[in-house]
Structure 1
């Protein structure tokens, strides 16, 4: 029995804490369908992407390639990923960004838009420093040279782009190869039916070639991407049994072919055959290795999808189920090919099927080919969501399909783009070999990135000897570099398409990161001190209007330039001001008790607060409708504990304190449900409707259930509450009842005259991406009527 676990949001109990055997079996289907779909359907195209003319020369070539497949699966999938890479998880999360996050915290190589003061305030450097046990020479060298920071970031983005490219190419490859196999199987069946008429056979064969592979592949691809909105759990329940049945079927057929065609094929796994292949190497034979690497397609998903399941479950499922069944399948296919070198299309999996199994093969291959693409699509969603948190991808809408399992997401815009590109590949190439060449290049490049980052993890995070890190890099890197050279030989035969995808995705990522960094540096250089706001208020005759003003800014110290520009021209601001900053730090999750960092700016009479909201790259905090209530409640908690918790101050100048809705002896604000309270008067209900008039209209227009509005009151019995605290809390409640306004700066990047072409091009791409973002800068369901946007020109 395979025990499966899931990575859940902190504070939410795991669904598997009390799992029965039925739940375990159900989740076993999910992991097979989601994580191992691509790896399980690789037999559809591994031998099929090899040119028959290169295989037909000698059966020894088939034996040598089978030996390569066995050892590649064993070394890369079993040894590298299942045994080593899975151990380098970032608090249960995997993937390229998880490795980059570990390096950011343990080698200080991060290039996130945070200044020194932000790092000190948010405390993630001090928190992670406990893991740094020794200041090694390698760590000092990497931290000292800025070029190393940029190189590591480039590797992380490059690996992310390879994941995106794999998500485009793998669906097209697996589905088209299955459709081609169906066409060949149907041709064989119909030839037997019309055995007496050669003319009819030719007509049927031509009709099937024209109307089966491409149209059926396109229909399956559209259906696959349309199912993505259902979420990982529902898809896993649907897809798990399909992949399980497929694996058992191909393993059974493989066992049948072994005994029928060549029982001694099991001895061909000897490394001697690899040596024979290398001694007779030439360019045509070396190109064949570009197809061999496809046998480990999906191994990267074992690590990338780690956030959905536990390490133990992924490892046990691979060792006990996936690995042996795949070896039986490849052995049976190699045995069939070695004895049928003169048959037409002998290297396609469909041809090795016994006649009485071809009908079942048609059904299972079409279904499993669609399922096999799920692992890459899921990994693509995860990697883009992580890049969003690290400001390396334009803002897109992320939908969390599970309320308990935090890693299960769906990104509509990315999903439809992947579908369009996959259809383009299928219709444009119409050739399994060309699509396979591009897919192989994406797979091996992603693996090389993981190998490079893992060697740094071994030295800097695990703190192993440099020789251990070098051995890991040389052993796995040398093998993968050999496969990379074979893939590059096929550059003109399909691999060039991956380079086009890489150029587009890398340009978007780099330009977004570059533009974000430039805007942040501009805000840092043009911010004004908090003393300026306090000192200038009497001189300008600034008036305080009722209500709360939320000022959203990226900086965590000082006053943003756009707000100083606003009050200089319009000398008035609200009774209560709250400066809100969202800061993503290189950790997967931030617990609720460490998420809100609250401080005071200036004297108490000014009622100006700062709220820093810390989040990890897997957290989703901006798509909640009660965010305003959470901030106000946190500030109420800060006011209540401020006097008695001086020791917890992070920054004495602004008196910052971590708050996490802790119990404060009944001295904080008490949330009161507006809809269930009978003590509230009609005037207060009217005030409530003024706070967020747009929310109700949106909810009524969408037909959703009306969201309850949270209001606050002081506790009835609070004898320990000081008079000054009670007064400030009452003023905060009154300000919220008067309504809220949201101030957001709109920085427009302008390139200075005389700038080079590269800077102009990056800024141009950034501005285009920013104008076409599907999500606002602050995705908090802000009422449009209460939003004030202040434009600022940033000249760089």
Structure 2
């Protein structure tokens, strides 16, 4: 006789129900990728997603018009799409060297699969990696380009030079991005408090960055645990303000996604337009960290975070800023119209949310520095392994992720350089001119 509802449970000896089967491996992988994608916001994308703090403020035009702003937004939209989506998310992330990214990861791939290296690499490969390498050497026929590099020592030296140049540019980015991000955020104190001078802003920014460099020794995982919630808040609030500005000031802003606005911009402004290009491409500042920081996370996690959060956030934020600045043209007399770019980010923030956004912007600017700092540690480690950089101490800060590293010497040199840039240049616009022009 049945005394209750039928329960389809397999019973172990003794009548004890068996434990539920574990979830499929795919479910566990998806959860892990989503969690890593969340953590990338605090480490990989800080520099890229905070670029709205300073991109417009570094621009200057003598007599900007509505058509000019549409052209500027069109340039930024297509720069983010082609460089961010196509180049990095679509192509570069698939060219990893056993999970490592960056310029030297690509160079290491070329050295391993073709005889393009000059000095022998000191990297120790696993038995599996060595077997794959030997199989590829015996089964693959070198291409004509590969044969050319193998025969030409000059070509191999040029390739090495370009790799080292790419590494140096990334390190330079790691110095300039923290400086300009924090300075641009703290600049928001000057509008409500005119007594706050530019030297005070510079000293506050330097103190904040010194504190950031001092916590690097604890490792990327612990840092990202603190930073990811801040960047999640930033990537949510700035596009919300952007949507508000679009509907209030210029609902038709997305017509600027047509490339013909770019052509019209350059035909109209000629030399001044080409000079502006250096400032507009700052919209992609920090995108290289997507590839350079690959060793700290996974390819899928970076792709998920960029395509679902970072890219839409930037597109909406820049659209809102452009709509707001077009509206400011109406309220600016002809004599001061060239100053419409000044303090562009805080003009874009509605008064009721000014102070909450100032706090979030300042915290986000601190986080922005982390992506390039982590990327610098990664490329230094790779170049030391390839014996193309002086031997510096490299500490592994994670038992789970081999690519998560910290270099004390590199860290403190970067700190001194960042503080020197802030105190030397003094203002975000001056750093922007050095950065993108």
Q: Does 2:420 match 1:420?
A: no
Any conservation in 2 of the 1:49–1:436 contact (CA below 8 Å)?
yes
Question: How many Å apart are 1:125 and its aligned residue?
Answer: 10
Question: Normalising by the residue count of structure 1, what TM-score does the alignment of the two structures yield?
Answer: 0.48
State the 1:287 CA deviation: 1.1
C-alpha contact (below 8 Å) 1:168/1:418 kept by paired residues: yes
1:447 aligned residue: none
State yes or no: 1:405 paired with 2:412: no
Residue 240 (structure 1) aligns with = 228
Contact 1:400/1:410, CA 8 A, preserved across alignment: yes
Aligned to 1:97: 104
Aligned with 1:255 (options 234, 243, 259): 243
**Structure 2 counterpart of 1:284, from 272, 289, 307:** 272
Pick from 386, 397, 405 the counterpart of residue 382 of structure 2: 386
Aligned pair count reads 399
Post-superposition Cα deviations, 1:187-238, rounded to whole Å, max 9, x if no partner, equal: 4xxxxxxxxxxxxxxxxx1x21245421221111111111111110011111
Within a 5 Å distance, the mapping from 1:115-134 to structure 2 comes to: 127=134, 129-130=136-137, 133-134=140-141
Q: Kindly provide the CA deviation profile for residues 288-328 of structure 1, in whole angstroms up to 9, marking residues without a partner as x.
A: 11111111112111111111222112112111111111111
Task: Rate the CA distance shift 1:433–1:131 in 2: closer, same or farther, 3 A.
Answer: farther
In structure 2, the residue corresponding to 1:403 is in which secondary structure? coil
Which residue of the partner structure matches residue 17 of structure 2? Answer: none
Distance 2:422 2:115 in 1: 43
Q: Secondary structure of the equivalent of 2:118?
A: coil
Equivalent residue in structure 1 for 2:56, among 43, 47, 51: 47
In structure 2, the residue matched to 1:475 is none
Q: Per-residue CA shift, 1:49-106, capped at 9, x if unaligned?
A: 112x44x431211110000000111111111111111111112211101100111122
C-alpha distance in 1 between matches for 2:138 and 2:288:
27
Q: Partner residue of 2:353?
A: 357
The yes-or-no answer on 1:162 pairing with 2:150 is no
Residue 214 (str. 1) matches residue 221 (str. 2)? no
Shift of 1:28: 3.5
Contact 1:37 1:372 in 2 (8 A): yes
Whether 2:284 is the aligned partner of 1:313: answer no
Distance 1:159 1:334 in 2: 32
The CA distance in 1 between the partners of 2:189 and 2:239, in whole Å, is 19
Measure how far apart 1:24 and its partner are: 6.0
Partner of 2:398: helix, strand, or coil?
coil
Q: Could you tell me how far 1:39 is from its partner in structure 2?
A: 0.9
Q: Is the 8 A contact 1:179 1:212 kept in 2?
A: no
Distance 1:18 1:398, change over 3 A: farther
SS at match of 1:83: helix
More strand by share: 1
Indicate the residue corresponding to 1:551 in structure 2: none
Residue 114 of structure 1 and its aligned partner are, at CA, apart by 7.5
- The CA deviation string for residues 746-768 of structure 1, in whole angstroms up to 9 with x for no partner, is xxxxxxxxxxxxxxxxxxxxxxx
Residue 112 of structure 1 corresponds to 119
Structure 2 counterparts to residues 411-490 of structure 1, below 5 A: 411-440=407-436, 487=437
Structure 1 residue 401, shift from structure 2 partner? 0.9
Query: 5+ unaligned residues in a row in structure 2: which ranges?
Result: 1-24, 123-128
Given that 1:105 and 1:128 are in contact with CA atoms closer than 8 Å, whether structure 2 keeps it comes out as no
> 1:84 and 2:80 equivalent?
no
Between structures 1 and 2, the one with greater helix share: 2
2:121 & 2:366 partners in 1: Cα distance? 42
Task: Answer yes or no: is the 8 Å Cα contact 1:172–1:426 preserved in 2.
Answer: yes
Deviates more, 1:152-161 or 1:343-352: 343-352
Query: Structure 1, unaligned stretches of length 5 or more?
Result: 1-15, 116-121, 188-204, 441-486, 488-796
1:645-724 map, 5 Å: none
Taking a change above 3 Å as real, the CA distance of residues 426 and 126 of structure 1, as seen in their structure-2 partners, is closer
Deviation at 1:137, TM superposition (A): 1.9
Deviation, structure 1 residue 394? 1.4
With the length of structure 2 as denominator, give the TM-score of the two structures.
0.86
C-alpha deviations, 1:132-161, integer Å up to 9, x for none?
622322221121111011011111111111
Other-structure match for 1:571:
none
Aligned to 1:685: none
Whole-Å Cα distance in 2 between the matches of residues 435 and 329 of structure 1? 22
Please show how residues 137-148 of structure 1 align to structure 2 within 5 Å: 137-148=144-155
Query: 2: CA distance between counterparts of 1:139 and 1:24?
Result: 36
CA distance in 1, matches of 2:150, 2:29: 49
Report if the CA contact (8 A) 1:38-1:373 is conserved.
Answer: yes
User: How far off its partner does 1:366 sit?
Assistant: 0.7
